[in-house]
């Protein structure tokens, strides 16, 4: 006999795929298409090293707190480690490792002479005054000194960090070295050797790649609707780029929620995270939505550009967008990816779409090395050239092998990285 109890739906646990599990599953899928030594793949499943630091922060109130920081180095076979520093309460060793892996693939797909790193501090930046931010960032630069350097590991901004913090970081490192070392960090303000165009670069590249994908599917950008989760360095510039190029950006969000206008928002009128964090959800728009509702809007292009793991097995079947372009790092779990593949919803991956940030960081590092500053126009032109080259390389694999866009981007990158490992040797 079937009892009421046995027929009731078992409560489903939310999907709990970790960022490292996602990153490894993505690597293994791509590796299956290539003839790469198993030893190299096994090596690339792990970071080279992870450095953990305890950072004393003297609060304005006079009390001292000990915060935890990490710097994960994934691979440097093609050049110095490169990747951002994140200030966020959810930072963990595991997350830094996954993010460092994505940096390796990102630099590979862009053909940049860098490897992958990522770091962060477990802290809510909204709880820090400006003087606390400065003390914390200077101390981080001192703590990380043994593992960073302009030819060794070059940090940059990520979630919760900004150009001013990069200037403090550069100053603290330079004071320890006894000489000005602008090339220790990228994403600085132009006054201290930062590149014009770095701040908007990751969002701009998301816009450039989304435009190419729209063109690839034969859509008209002026008939394309877009929803963007997150309105910071990546989300705001991506939304504004697409808005300026004729798309209708109908929804954007911050941590507290989303705003929606079916006729299209004026994205230049909405204040972004850098201008004033948390202002999006307070904007006077026709409708307010939750972040979860934004992800399920019936739009042409969905751009998750805030945190990781937002598209999971739990909501992938409810996503109504016709295409996803990843602005954030790791917004899609591998199980959600499988659902999208089955539903024939293309997912243009983070390692290609948001790679404009590290690409302009590379330009900044070149400018620092040569002590020359490039014009904004030159940065924009060279970024566009690099993004189109990467897009063409990925599209070639996508069409030749009949794989997903993510697999295609990984294949481009992994080929280059495996070839470098092979050439440097030590593989049986």
Ligand X SMILES: NC(=O)C1=CN([C@@H]2O[C@H](COP(=O)(O)OP(=O)(O)OC[C@H]3O[C@@H](n4cnc5c(N)ncnc54)[C@H](OP(=O)(O)O)[C@@H]3O)[C@@H](O)[C@H]2O)C=CC1
Q: How many residues bind ligand X (CB under 6 A)?
A: 29
Q: Which stretch binds ligand X (CB under 6 A): 3-11, 129-137, 163-171, 231-239?
A: 231-239
Q: Which stretch binds ligand X (CB under 6 A): 211-219, 327-335, 340-348, 376-384?
A: 327-335
Q: How far apart are CA 73 and CA 187, in angstroms?
A: 19
Among 26, 354, 367, 413, binds ligand X (CB under 6 A): 354
CB 106 within 8 A of CB 75: no
By CB under 6 A, the residues from 38 to 97 that bind ligand X are 84
By CB under 6 A, the residues from 131 to 170 that bind ligand X are 157-160
Q: Which does 229 bind (CB under 5 to 8 A by kind): ligand AKG, ligand X, none?
A: ligand X
Q: Could you tell me which residues come within 8 angstroms of residue 297 by beta carbon, excluding any fewer than 6 positions away?
A: 227, 250, 251, 260, 289, 320, 321
26 part of the interface to ligand AKG, by CB under 6 A:
no
Taking the CB of residue 281, how many other CB atoms lie within 10 A of it? 19
Q: Which stretch binds ligand X (CB under 6 A): 55-63, 189-197, 282-290, 303-311?
A: 303-311
CB 97 within 8 A of CB 72: yes
373 part of the interface to ligand X, by CB under 6 A:
no
229 part of the interface to ligand X, by CB under 6 A:
yes
Closest to ligand AKG by CB, 36 vs 406, is 406
Query: Rounded to whole angstroms, what are the CA distances from 347 to 56, 211, 322, 333?
Result: 41, 14, 9, 12
Residue 311, classified by CB atoms within 10 Å of its CB into exposed (0-12), middle (13-18) or buried (19+), is buried
Q: Which does 83 bind (CB under 5 to 8 A by kind): ligand AKG, ligand X, none?
A: ligand AKG
Closest to ligand AKG by CB, 260 vs 363, is 363
Among 75, 153, 158, 243, binds ligand AKG (CB under 6 A): 158
312 part of the interface to ligand AKG, by CB under 6 A:
no
From the CB of 91, what's the least distance to ligand AKG, in Å?
A: 13
By CB under 6 A, the residues from 324 to 363 that bind ligand AKG are 329, 354, 357-358, 361
CB 360 within 8 A of CB 379: yes
**Annotated active-site residue in 82, 106, 118, 188:** 118
Torsion sign (Cα): 289, 291, 296, 301: positive
Q: In what order do the strands lie in the sheet with 81-88?
A: 49-58, 64-75, 115-122, 81-88, 153-157
Closest to ligand AKG by CB, 48 vs 293, is 48
* Crossing angle of the two packed helices 376-401 and 356-370, in degrees rounded to 10: 130
User: Considering only CA atoms, which of 158, 162, 120 is closest in space to residue 140?
Assistant: 120
156 part of the interface to ligand AKG, by CB under 6 A:
yes
Cα-to-chain-centroid distance, residue 337:
17
Q: Which does 231 bind (CB under 5 to 8 A by kind): ligand AKG, ligand X, none?
A: ligand X
Each residue 73-92 as x (binds ligand AKG by CB under 6 A) or -, in order, gives: ---------xxx--------
Minimal CB distance residue for ligand AKG: 84
Among 22, 104, 186, 309, binds ligand AKG (CB under 6 A): 186
CB 310 within 8 A of CB 304: yes
Q: How far apart are CA 88 and CA 120, in angstroms?
A: 7
Q: Which stretch binds ligand X (CB under 6 A): 34-42, 53-61, 135-143, 232-240?
A: 232-240
294 part of the interface to ligand AKG, by CB under 6 A:
no
User: Considering only CA atoms, which of 10, 104, 17, 13 is closest in space to residue 312?
Assistant: 17
Residue 410, classified by CB atoms within 10 Å of its CB into exposed (0-12), middle (13-18) or buried (19+), is buried
Q: How far apart are CA 31 and CA 359, in angstroms?
A: 25
Q: How many residues bind ligand AKG (CB under 6 A)?
A: 13
Closest to ligand X by CB, 149 vs 277, is 277
From the CB of 184, what's the least distance to ligand X, in Å?
A: 17
CB 293 within 8 A of CB 313: no
291 part of the interface to ligand X, by CB under 6 A:
yes
* Residue 58 designated active-site: no
CB 391 within 8 A of CB 209: yes
Interface residues with ligand X (CB under 6 A) are 84, 157-160, 202, 229-235, 253-256, 273, 277-278, 291, 305-307, 327-329, 354, 357
Catalytic residues: 118
Interface residues with ligand AKG (CB under 6 A) are 82-84, 106, 156, 158, 186-187, 329, 354, 357-358, 361
């Amino acid at each position: 006999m079937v009892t009421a109890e046995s027929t009731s739906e078992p409560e489903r646990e939310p999907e709990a795929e970790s960022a490292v599990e996602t990153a490894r599953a993505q690597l293994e899928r791509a590796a299956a298409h290539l003839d790469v030594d198993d030893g190299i793949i096994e090596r690339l499943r792990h970071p080279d090293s992870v450095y953990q630091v305890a950072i004393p922060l003297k609060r304005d109130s006079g009390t001292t707190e000990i915060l935890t920081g990490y710097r994960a180095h994934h691979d440097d076979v093609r050049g110095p480690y490169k990747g951002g520093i994140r200030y966020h309460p959810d930072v963990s060793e595991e997350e830094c490792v996954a993010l460092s892996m994505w940096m390796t693939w990102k630099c590979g797909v862009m053909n940049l002479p860098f490897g992958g790193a990522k770091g962060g501090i477990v802290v809510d930046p909204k709880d820090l005054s400006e003087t606390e931010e400065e003390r914390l960032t200077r101390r981080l630069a001192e703590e990380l000194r043994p593992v960073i350097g302009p030819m060794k590991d070059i940090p940059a901004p990520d979630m919760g960090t900004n150009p001013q913090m990069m200037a403090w970081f550069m100053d603290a490192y330079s004071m320890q070295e006894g000489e000005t070392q602008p090339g220790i960090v990228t994403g600085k303000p132009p006054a201290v050797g930062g590149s014009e165009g770095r701040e908007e670069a990751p969002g701009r590249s998301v816009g450039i790649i989304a435009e190419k994908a729209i063109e690839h599917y034969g859509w008209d950008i002026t008939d394309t609707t877009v929803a963007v989760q997150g309105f910071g360095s990546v989300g705001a510039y991506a939304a504004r780029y697409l808005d300026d190029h004729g798309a209708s950006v109908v929804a954007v969000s911050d941590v507290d929620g989303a705003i929606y206008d079916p006729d299209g928002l004026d994205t230049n009128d909405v204040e972004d995270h850098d201008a004033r964090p948390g202002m999006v959800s307070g904007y006077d728009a026709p409708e307010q939505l939750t972040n979860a509702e934004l992800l399920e809007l019936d739009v042409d292009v969905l751009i998750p550009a805030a945190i990781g793991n937002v598209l999971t097995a739990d909501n992938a079947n409810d996503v109504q967008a016709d295409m996803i372009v990843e602005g954030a790092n790791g917004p899609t779990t591998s199980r959600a990816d499988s659902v999208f593949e089955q539903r024939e919803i293309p997912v243009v991956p983070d390692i290609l779409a948001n790679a404009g940030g590290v690409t302009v960081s590379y330009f900044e590092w070149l400018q620092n090395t040569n002590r020359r500053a490039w014009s904004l126009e030159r940065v924009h032109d060279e970024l566009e050239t690099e993004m189109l080259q990467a897009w063409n390389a990925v599209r070639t694999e996508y069409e030749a092998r009949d794989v997903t866009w993510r697999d295609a981007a990984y294949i481009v990158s992994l080929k280059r990285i495996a070839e470098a490992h092979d050439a440097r040797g030590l593989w049986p």
